[in-house]
Structure 1
Amino acid sequence: MLFSSRLTSLALTIAVIIGAPLAQAAGAAPAPAPTASSPASAANVKAPLPLDELRTFAEVMDRIKAAYVEPVDDKTLLENAIKGMLSNLDPHSAYLGPEDFQELQESTSGEFGGLGIEVGVEDGFVKVVSPIDDTPASKAGIEAGDLIVKINGTPTQGQTMQEAVDKMRGKIGEKITLTLVRDGGNPFDVTLARATIQVKSVKAQMLEPGYGYIRITQFQVKTGEEVGKALAKLRKDNGKKMSGLILDLRNNPGGVLQAAVEVADHFLTKGLIVYTKGRIANSELRFSADPADASEGVPLVVLINGGSASASEIVAGALQDQKRGILMGTDTFGKGSVQTVLPLANDRALKITTALYYTPNGRSIQAQGINPDIEVKRAKLTAEADGDNYKEADLLGHLGNGNGGADKPTTKAKAGKARPQDDDYQMNQALSLLKGLSVTRGN
């Protein structure tokens, strides 16, 4: 599950947008009642109520109300029972109260309050899936893979995900201290203030003449449109068709399914992008590319890592199966399930897993992830200073070049403007690969 601002299970959720009243927020409509011909009809045959278990449930409620150290009202007990019912299905299903439901809708629009951390659960601990760029979490140096072992001094082990997320909630401006463990080392504290998170889902720039870069931080409702605009701007800035493009999906926890489809479609001109399988009728979906090619067929390298999840894996899987781009980096997170938001009365909702998604070649990514075509792990780049080397043109009395042209003696390199690829080993390798492809293709 996920904590991004004050809500559990947000950007790792793939919200299926199919034109429901919630379509502009988080996605899917409630499934229609199954019919005799629907995939869920066989499973929908009413079975006798489990009377013994219902009696036990009623007895437990009575015992708690009578014997618990403090008074507990029926509403609290029933809401806790519902939360327990959902939380034990899988890590991504949840009962959303009014506040959580509202924030789920806010998150897919790109603005919400919180820390900017996407989290999951590992061995009973809360684990950072990825920090969101330009948020308190990323600025504080929190990294993907960090374990959150304490929140304001309270251990997280043994708590449910919802309990941990609730403790990370709070007013904008209030400070919170997280105790982290990184790579099995000693615990250390990070104190940061909650803030309004305004996520810029798409960033783009030219790295060098001919070579562009697009980073998607998460998939929001307008991400597909933003990627289309970014491609157009890069082409304009370059003055002609680009020689290569890097699509960066690292530490992207996912988001809206339709946005992932639109992004993949910008690079594909035909064929399947993704399809889903589930029990309810409207969970059987197929998405195919249209002939338009916003990317102009530019050679493409896609960067992925363990923080690339859900919608990111849809895009990466489609481009890999269609042989449209080269995947570089490390294995992805492995979230291949679809969550549908079912609104309830009183501004509440259920978010339940209703389907699995599959890449064009029929691969389920659930709990396995996507393997890169070329594995490149994170590393630090350090530039070495040139020694006192001399060239032939530096030697006194050297011969001139018989073909004409000026001599090229040794010159001291001027300190240039810092570039993103200078400090990012994986990006540097992706750029080198694109240059190699350009040379061999005669571009």
Structure 2
Amino acid sequence: MRLLSLLVGLLLSIHVALAEAEFHRDATAPTTEHSQELIHAIQELVNDYYVDDVDQQALLDGALKGMLEVLDPHSTYLSPSTLELLRDNNRGHYYGYGLEVAIDEQLIRVVTPLGGSSAEAAGVLPGDVLLQVDSLIANADNLDPLIAYIKQASLDDRHLLLTLEREDTPTPLQFRLSPSEIEIASSESELLPGDIGYLKISSFNQRTAFEVRMAATQLLQQPLKGLVLDLRNNPGGLLDAAVQVADMFLTSGTIVTTHGRFFDANSDYRATSYSLFGDVPVAVLINQGSASAAEILAGALSDQGRAILIGETSYGKGTVQSLIPLMGQGGAIKLTTARYATPDGTFIDQQGIAPDLHIELDAQQLEDIVSNIQELTSWKDDQQLFAAHDLLQAWTP
């Protein structure tokens, strides 16, 4: 009875405290000292009364993650394993399954499967919602444990069973993936009939600018009548890499501007006078899987009148995240520090960039082109690519 009285009194005190806090909420913001006291009090309550023993590190990780993710979908706490995976991606290689995912309204949604990965080979598509990995439920609240589980599975070199939900598919889909060494070759190029170049950029990492320069060297060995720049299903990546590639097409003017509260978050990235691709006409392909750095490049070329955009409205991620290591913790925080605007001053966050020529692909067509051009029966089967080729063939300066 004494314990019951204690708990009733405790709950009553909490109720009164919450009511008082609600009453005074608009009058004053909590100080750092008060916030720390509240966090400490909750931690003690959990330790004393929670039904099971508490993993203190998991509790801390959850607190940090919750504190950041209340800000926006892209700010988060990165555990050491998640941070390592992100750095691998930025370097351009890692061992794993090839899934690029993002939190979208508390769902874990596939942005794109990486080229050459088992996720791509199995038929995972952009827009698929991840429901389950083996027996582990997938949602925004347990993203870190989920990533740690996937990372450990790759280290153990074992298969994963993914359960996905796909729009217009009545029942969930299951895919069995195996880990492999993934060289994130962020670009590929071909020469199409009629002297039309094709350059696909699938992500922006530390190798992208070098790869695009090498592709340009090959493509420009013959006079090009036009160039198709394919940014479909490109989830983005490094801002600097997108700026470097944009500079290869432009000779002057703004590429992108960033806007934030602290001084260094405000930047104006401008093109240099040298253009690697000269005045070759350019058509850019975009779709709902084109995000972040891909949108920076598409927006820069469009606003500068350097390219025409073809396809579908892009994803609409118009914010910049900074990676801030946590000294002594081993992890980091990924914090939204700025919004970016295209050269004409348009902020595209949650809006996306609309194409000049709208051509929508159905799910089957998207599945046919999700990997690369070599897997098409004919490049003409890709309606968006065919339209871009046709437009460039008819181009008159």
Instruction: Work out whether the TM-score is over 0.5.
Output: yes
Gaps of 5+ in 2: 1-28, 366-374
Letter in 1 for 2:389: L
Task: Say which SS state the counterpart of residue 90 (structure 1) adopts.
Answer: coil
Cα deviation digits, residues 155-205 of structure 1 (max 9, x gap): 335744334433433333311111112223211211111222211011011
Pairwise CA distance, 1:325: 0.4
Q: 1:364 maps to which residue?
A: 347
Whichever residue aligns with residue 259 of structure 1, its letter is A
Correspondence for 2:305: 323
Contact kept? 1:153, 1:179, Cα under 8 Å: no
2:357 corresponds to 1:427: no
Residue in structure 1 matched with residue 5 of structure 2 by the alignment: none
Query: For the residues of structure 1 that align with 2:186 and 2:140, how far apart are their CA atoms?
Result: 34
1:170, 1:194 within 8 Å by CA — same for their partners in 2?
no
Bigger share in helix: 2
1:225 to partner: Cα distance: 2.3
Deviations 1:304-347 (A, max 9, x none): 00000000000000011001001000000000111111122133
Cα distance, 1:419–1:294 mapped onto 2, change above 3 Å: farther
Aligned counterpart in structure 1 of residue 176 of structure 2, from 179, 191, 205? 191
Q: What is the CA-CA distance between 1:66 and the residue it aligns to?
A: 1.2
How far apart, in 1, do the equivalents of 2:134 and 2:87 lie? 28
Equivalent residue for 1:182, pick from 163, 166, 171: 166
Q: Which has the higher contact order (CA 8 A, sep 6+)?
A: 1
Could you tell me whether the CA contact under 8 Å between 1:65 and 1:73 is conserved in 2?
no
Q: Percent identity?
A: 37
Q: Computing the radius of gyration over CA atoms, which structure comes out larger, 1 or 2?
A: 1
Deviates more, 1:265-274 or 1:68-77: 68-77
Q: 1:84, CA displacement in angstroms?
A: 1.9
1:204-243 counterparts in 2 under 5 A?
204-236=189-221, 238=222, 241-243=223-225
Matched pairs, number: 355
Q: 1:71 aligns with which of 53, 74, 98?
A: 53
Task: Show structure 1 runs of 4+ deviating over 6 A.
Answer: none
Q: Are residues 1:251 and 2:233 paired?
A: yes
The offset of 1:82, in angstroms, is 1.6
Q: CA deviation at 1:251?
A: 0.3
Equivalent runs, 1:279-358 vs 2, <5 Å: 279-346=261-328, 347-358=330-341
Paired residues for 1:370-389 under 5 Å: 370-378=353-361
Please report how far the alpha carbon of residue 125 of structure 1 lies from its aligned counterpart in structure 2 after TM superposition: 2.5
Q: Tell me how far apart the structure 2 counterparts of residues 84 and 418 of structure 1 sit (CA, whole Å).
A: 44
CA distance in structure 1 between the aligned counterparts of 2:378 and 2:257, rounded to whole angstroms? 35
Describe how 1:86-235 pairs up with structure 2 within 5 A: 86-157=68-139, 159-172=141-154, 173-185=157-169, 186-235=171-220
Instruction: Tell me the alpha carbon deviations over residues 343-376 of structure 1, each in whole angstroms, 9 at most, x when there is no partner.
Output: 2213322211100011000011111010001001
- Following the alignment from structure 1 to structure 2, what is the Cα–Cα distance between the partners of residues 319 and 419? 30
Change (3 A) 1:171 1:78: closer
SS at match of 2:333: strand
Q: 3-state DSSP class of the match of 1:170?
A: helix
Displacement after TM superposition at 1:64 (Å): 1.1
CA deviation digits over 1:357-404, x for unaligned, max 9?
1100001111101000100111578xxxxxxxxxxxxxxxxxxxxxxx
- Tell me, yes or no, if the aligned pair for 1:306 and 1:332 is still in contact at 8 Å: yes
- Unmatched 5+ residue regions in structure 1? 1-46, 382-416
Q: Does the residue aligned with 1:59 lie in a helix, a strand or coil?
A: helix
C-alpha separation between the residues in 2 aligned to 1:418 and 1:314? Answer: 28
CA distance 1:153–1:194, shift in 2 (3 Å): same
Distance, in Å, in 2 between the alignment partners of 1:107 and 1:157 is 22
In 1, Cα distance between the equivalents of 2:78 and 2:103?
19
Call closer, same or farther: CA 1:157–1:100 in 2, change over 3 Å: closer
Query: Contact 1:207/1:419 (CA < 8 Å) preserved in 2?
Result: no
* Distance in 2, Cα, partners of 1:157 & 1:75: 20
C-alpha distance in 2, partners of 1:255/1:48?
36
Return the alpha-carbon distance in structure 1 between the equivalents of residues 79 and 120 of structure 2.
28
Q: Tell me, in whole angstroms, the C-alpha distance in 2 between the residues paired with 1:153 and 1:306.
A: 30
- Tell me how far 1:97 sits from its aligned partner: 2.6
Aligned to 2:153, the other structure's residue is in SS state coil
Aligned to 2:244: 262
Question: Which residue in 2 is equivalent to 1:7?
Answer: none
Aligned-residue CA RMSD in angstroms?
2.1
Preserved contact between residue 206 and residue 238 of structure 2 (Cα < 8 Å): yes
Cα shift at 1:255? 0.6
- Looking at structure 1, the residues matched to 144 and 110 of structure 2 have their Cα atoms a distance apart, in angstroms, of 15
Partner of 1:276: 258
For residues 140 and 218 of structure 2, the distance between their equivalents in structure 1, rounded to whole angstroms, comes to 49
Deviation at 1:81, TM superposition (A): 1.7
How is 1:33-52 mapped onto 2 (pairs within 5 angstroms)? 49-52=31-34
Higher deviation after alignment, 224-233 or 160-169: 160-169
